[in-house]
Structure 1
Amino acid sequence: MAESAKKAAAEITDAGIVGGAAKLTPEKIEKVINNVLKAEGGARLKTYVDICAHCGLCSEACHFYLSHDNDPKYSPAGKVKQTILEIIKKKGKVDVDFMKRASEIASTECNLCRRCVMYCPFGIDIAYLLLTVRRICHKLGITPQYIQDTAHSHSATANQMWVKEDEWIDSLMWQEDEARAEIPDLRIPLEKEGAEIFYSVIGPEPKFRAQLIYQAAVIMHVAGMNWTMPATPGWDNSDMCMFTGDFEMMARLKKIHFESAARLKVKKIVMGECGHAFRSVHDVGNRALSWKMPPIPVVHAIEFYYELIRDGKIKIAKKFDKPVTFHDPCNTVRGRGLHEMGRFVVNATCETLIEMHPNREHNYCCGAGGGVINCGPPYKMSRIDGDKIKAEQLATVKAKGAQTIIAPCHNCHGGLEDIIHHNKLDMDIKFLGDIIYETMEKPE
């Protein structure tokens, strides 16, 4: 590990972890751990822990390990050994300092990207093991402060950005007005019962990236979609509570989301370009509510755009002429297999695609997902240092001529932007919606 990174790590003081740890006793730690392990662990946890051979074959799958000179502490097996294995081995009899470090490892040194699962000979889901550690830390009250603040926003407002109900509606009306200057008969239909599509976004869109709502409205209008958006809480499909281990709040958020779609009697939910949100509504939150699959079909933007272009509902007027590369987000590629659909859209809208290597399900994580970027400024440099391998990958594809990165995920944008700026790579980042809006045929 580089000396600068060691120094930075040593200087991090997280108010959430330190403040929560001050209230802990060894007795409380032991009680909480054993309650979680007994009530929530089950056969899955026992199987993974028992069959791990500590062989280290997962190591080179991890960007943290590769970016820290192959330091075994950063290997997936190493992180498991430093946290959940020790917790189980000692039956919860671990001290406060151990749990503080376990919280840092689980929340800021693992993106839960599941790349390591592909290389484990037993298929152990290390992301699940470290989520179990986060769950214990949540119950102990030692979650990093910034991501806990976001979870509080979810709890208070049912969105991650403290957006009030009237502010949400104002944002949609504002974007409708903007879009009507371009297409006079365009509307963003609110509370339209019986529409085919319920379009949902994540909290940062009305707060910071409202142009994405504008672009989505144009795409929906030109494609002739029968769609709607809710005027009530339930519009935000994101979920930091899934990453803090607050599974009760996670289930509540998904319940609000699905009930909003059910109330409007829509046929399917189409969600914007976000990876973790897709994971929460299609894989984790739905199961917390005892649904094997979502009660209303959920379609990610990648799949939606693919269908629109494939079926001729969107036509391309002129392809994007700068050479591009495509970043495969972990949750929609390893988690859903949308890599070829993504490339179909890119090839339909762009003249030149230059592939990253490795790519598709083998692509390196952006370093921001899994809630890591949401742990905030204290961990920014440790996060960037933990993904030097991604910086090298981007530098290589830039040297081949790529000028623009297409990344269909909000967290990926945040992580890649930080890597690009820190390493002075001078590359643009766009969503698929940005490219489609720019290249599609629109009404005169």
Structure 2
Amino acid sequence: MPLTETGLKQPVRASAADMLKIDINPVPDDQKVEAAIKHLQELGEKFRSLMITFEACTKCGACAENCHTYLGTRDPNNIPTNRADLLRKVYKRYFTPEGKFFPKLIGAKDLELEDLEKMFSYFYQCNECRRCSLACPFGLDTCEITMAGRQLLHWLGMVPKLQAGVGFAMKKTGNHTGLPKPGLLDTNEFLEEEMLEETGVEIKIPTDKPNSDILYIPSSADFLLNPNTMMGAAKFFHYLGANWTMSSEIAEAGNFGLLFDQRHTMRANCMRIIDEALKLGCKKIVWGECGHGWRTGKMYLPGMLDRPGRIPIVHLHDEVRYYIEKGALTLHKDANTRPVTLHDPCNFGRACNLCDTLRVVMNASVSNFVEMYPNRERNFCCGGGSAVLFDDPEMYDLRIKFSAKKAEQVRETGVGKNGDGILCAPCSICKAQLYPMVEEHELGVEVKGLIDLVGLALYPPINK
């Protein structure tokens, strides 16, 4: 059966031409099964953690009620252990003695084209939030299997059009949106005018400035969807009198390679950042508001370095916390009096240990902070994690279902009951998911980044 005729809910797939742009030649259908088995063997030999996750799961079901995609869809294939089984069954069939001789006894099966299509559907419904690992009595992280499955599908040429488009835009322009340098500079100039009008202070956003102490890596979404986040960061650096710059060659804190192609795309993006820091003579890299991007920068990039010298890499929120605790910032809480609740991004909470930092910064910047529950590393995903941001109608419907648990959490805080609340989302992917989510679920809140609130507290609007 051709891969396009099974009726599964799937994101729009990248064409062969799209895949060639990111250096992948799609495998023909009649060769996909053989190629997939070969790639699975390669992944198994390289990643012991993947093998442990395959072998140790007892299918106890503890992960089910802790997975927001299952809670939102009630689709059994979205139970993390069942989703992982799509690949586990194949692994058992080809790479264990029991599976080779007694496949039916252990639930192993031969790989077919239909199985690959099912993997494409459900591995791209997983948000890779890793909350299931907290519920697992063995601490198994089924995200390992999702990530391995997406990598395998990438090698076969099965990638959503969104991810392939972002990969090509990043390769071409150094940002996910494909914004060229003239557009970036024009946007920065516009934001500078906005800050002058708002605060009465001339605040600059320097770009490609040689011999800067700090290279700031924003999310490219900050130039289109989240301008207040870019302005908040600029206000922070200006307040400190920092010698900083951003780069027109790499204006992207996010790294979609982590989400579909760790071997090539993720590494290439990371090396581009280091190259720019060295070229501009920067002494430190400060990472902007992106959860999966910071997970890449904190946990993967240092181990990839093949350039001379070591440049410290820190997150913007940790920088703000440092200067708060040093007593170097005067923050006016009365500039942020609206009720605010905080969404803990999955990669900040379950991967990068930023939960305390977020609260130090939040409590110093706003006067009416309301916790949602559960919170910190136990918080639920926004439903857009790992770039599940599909706009085609069928997948958009799923995307909103994935956010149902988050909407329930926000509603229970009560911050939106008068229609003037703020949902703080200190991650660009979370913001992109939450903008439509708060409208669809009628939550009565406005989505803002954490550095947005810091900027308002440092330079309160003069017309307020």
Same fold (TM over 0.5): yes
Structure 1 counterpart of 2:230:
213
The CA deviation string for residues 341-390 of structure 1, in whole angstroms up to 9 with x for no partner, is 11111111211221111011100000101121157654111121123222
Aligned amino acid, residue 436 of structure 2: D
Between the aligned partners of 2:267 and 2:438, the Cα distance in structure 1 is: 35
Residue 88 (structure 2) pairs with residue 85 (structure 1): yes
Structure 1 counterpart of 2:100:
none
Between the aligned partners of 2:460 and 2:409, the Cα distance in structure 1 is: 36
* Structure 1 residues 443 and 422, CA gap change in structure 2 (3 angstroms): closer
Between the aligned partners of 1:95 and 1:357, the Cα distance in structure 2 is: 43
* Structure 1 residues 349 and 99, CA gap change in structure 2 (3 angstroms): same
Unaligned runs of 5+ in 1: 1-8
Query: How many equivalent pairs are there?
Result: 430
Between the aligned partners of 2:267 and 2:189, the Cα distance in structure 1 is: 30
Structure 2 counterpart of 1:52:
57
Residue 60 (structure 2) pairs with residue 63 (structure 1): no
Structure 1 counterpart of 2:438:
420
Residue 140 (structure 2) pairs with residue 124 (structure 1): yes
Between the aligned partners of 1:348 and 1:324, the Cα distance in structure 2 is: 13
1:45 to partner: Cα distance? 1.9
Structure 2 counterpart of 1:440:
458
Q: How does 1:5-404 map to 2 (within 5 A)?
A: 12=9, 14-16=11-13, 24-38=28-42, 41-42=45-46, 43-69=48-74, 71-81=75-85, 83-91=86-94, 93-107=110-124, 109-180=125-196, 182=199, 185-230=202-247, 232-245=248-261, 247-288=263-304, 295-319=310-334, 320-373=336-389, 378-398=394-414, 403-404=421-422
Structure 1 counterpart of 2:429:
411
Between the aligned partners of 2:461 and 2:279, the Cα distance in structure 1 is: 33
CA contact (8 A) 2:416 2:444 kept: no
* Structure 1 residues 351 and 282, CA gap change in structure 2 (3 angstroms): same
Between the aligned partners of 2:381 and 2:400, the Cα distance in structure 1 is: 12
Between the aligned partners of 1:399 and 1:170, the Cα distance in structure 2 is: 36
Structure 2 counterpart of 1:6:
none
Between the aligned partners of 1:55 and 1:193, the Cα distance in structure 2 is: 57
The CA deviation string for residues 161-194 of structure 1, in whole angstroms up to 9 with x for no partner, is 1111232233333333444554555333333444
Aligned amino acid, residue 224 of structure 2: K
Between the aligned partners of 1:343 and 1:28, the Cα distance in structure 2 is: 48
Between the aligned partners of 1:39 and 1:203, the Cα distance in structure 2 is: 32
Between the aligned partners of 2:460 and 2:403, the Cα distance in structure 1 is: 40
* Structure 1 residues 383 and 409, CA gap change in structure 2 (3 angstroms): same
CA contact (8 A) 1:354 1:400 kept: no
SS of match in other structure, 2:367: coil
CA contact (8 A) 1:282 1:298 kept: yes
CA contact (8 A) 1:247 1:288 kept: no
Between the aligned partners of 1:289 and 1:378, the Cα distance in structure 2 is: 41
Between the aligned partners of 2:192 and 2:78, the Cα distance in structure 1 is: 47
Between the aligned partners of 1:371 and 1:61, the Cα distance in structure 2 is: 20
The CA deviation string for residues 126-184 of structure 1, in whole angstroms up to 9 with x for no partner, is 11111110011101111122222112212222211111123223333333344455455
Between the aligned partners of 2:120 and 2:210, the Cα distance in structure 1 is: 44
Between the aligned partners of 1:435 and 1:22, the Cα distance in structure 2 is: 45
SS of match in other structure, 1:215: helix
* Structure 1 residues 442 and 414, CA gap change in structure 2 (3 angstroms): closer
Between the aligned partners of 1:399 and 1:167, the Cα distance in structure 2 is: 37
* Structure 1 residues 79 and 39, CA gap change in structure 2 (3 angstroms): closer
Structure 1 counterpart of 2:22:
none
CA contact (8 A) 1:146 1:375 kept: no
CA contact (8 A) 1:314 1:441 kept: no
Aligned amino acid, residue 39 of structure 2: N
SS of match in other structure, 2:187: helix
CA contact (8 A) 1:369 1:412 kept: yes
Unaligned runs of 5+ in 2: 1-5, 20-24, 95-108
* Structure 1 residues 290 and 388, CA gap change in structure 2 (3 angstroms): farther
1:286 to partner: Cα distance? 4.4
Aligned amino acid, residue 294 of structure 2: F
Show structure 1 runs of 4+ deviating over 6 A.
17-23
